[in-house]
Amino acid sequence: MFVGEKLSVEQFGPVLGKDVLLMDAAFKAKYRVEQLVYGEYDGDTIEFEAYDHHGVPPFSRFPHALLFVSRDGNRLYHQKYQYYPVFRAPSGAWFGCGPVGERDSEDRRGIAEARPMPWDSDAYHPLKPEWSSKDRRKLFASEHFRIDGDKAYCLTGSPVHELFEVKKRTVLKARGMFGGDAAKAGD
């Protein structure tokens, strides 16, 4: 798991076996490794495959993201739908914005409590034009975001090691990647 800077994300057609139907769009991604958060990886850049049922993976909309990648044999794969957009704080540390939506708020409770941050103007989530103002408010609560035009600017945030803990204790644990008392990030 790492903070990466997007270098490229390109769609490709994977070679499938006979009678195999792929329900996802396939992408090859290349990222510069900015900070290793968990695991081992030698190298300044990393290449992995990402699959998304809805098309272009949302993590690719952001210049930097905390990405969850695992190995299967000789290939690296993005853990489907698991990422956080991240931004560098004035201190130089990487942080993700406050929670997006009720589920993210619940998952973070007691692990990654969002606190006020002195964000730069590049710390925002783009808003989809089809979202109603009610949808936007439900996803981007006013205590964590300021909505201005087509952007939800971050007001609060959590450090990447806490965000990693959220995924480790929830979806990644459910996927069998972490169980019981797995080592903490940085151990």
183 band by pLDDT with thresholds 50, 70 and 90: very low
The angle formed by the CA atoms of residues 23, 25 and 132, to the nearest 5 degrees, is 95
Alpha-carbon distance of 155 to 157, in angstroms, equals: 7
Q: Name the residue among 106, 43, 42, 93 with its Cα closest to residue 66.
A: 93
The whole-number pLDDT of residue 185 equals 39
Q: Name the residue among 122, 118, 108 with its Cα closest to residue 160.
A: 108
Domain boundaries, the chain: 2-14+26-86, 88-159
Kindly state the tokens that stand for 165: 């803990």
Q: For the chain, what is the total number of helices (H) and then of strands (E)?
A: 4, 11
More confident residue, 54 or 146: 146
Question: How far is C-alpha 144 from the geometric centre of its chain's CA atoms?
Answer: 17
CB 82 within 8 A of CB 103: no
Residue 182, pLDDT above cutoff 60? no
136-158 burial, b at 16+ Cβ within 10 Å, e below that, comes to beebbbeebbebeeebbbbbbbb
Residue 160, pLDDT above cutoff 80? yes
Alpha-carbon distance of 85 to 64, in angstroms, equals: 6
Kindly state the tokens that stand for 155: 């007001």
Burial of 88 (0-12, 13-18, 19+ CB in 10 A): middle
Q: Which amino acid is at 76?
A: L
**Locus of tokens 């070679």:** 15
**Cα radius of gyration rounded to whole Å, the chain:** 17
pLDDT digits (tens, 9 = 90+) for 97-136: 999 999 999 999 999 999 999 998 899 999 999 999 999 9
176 band by pLDDT with thresholds 50, 70 and 90: confident
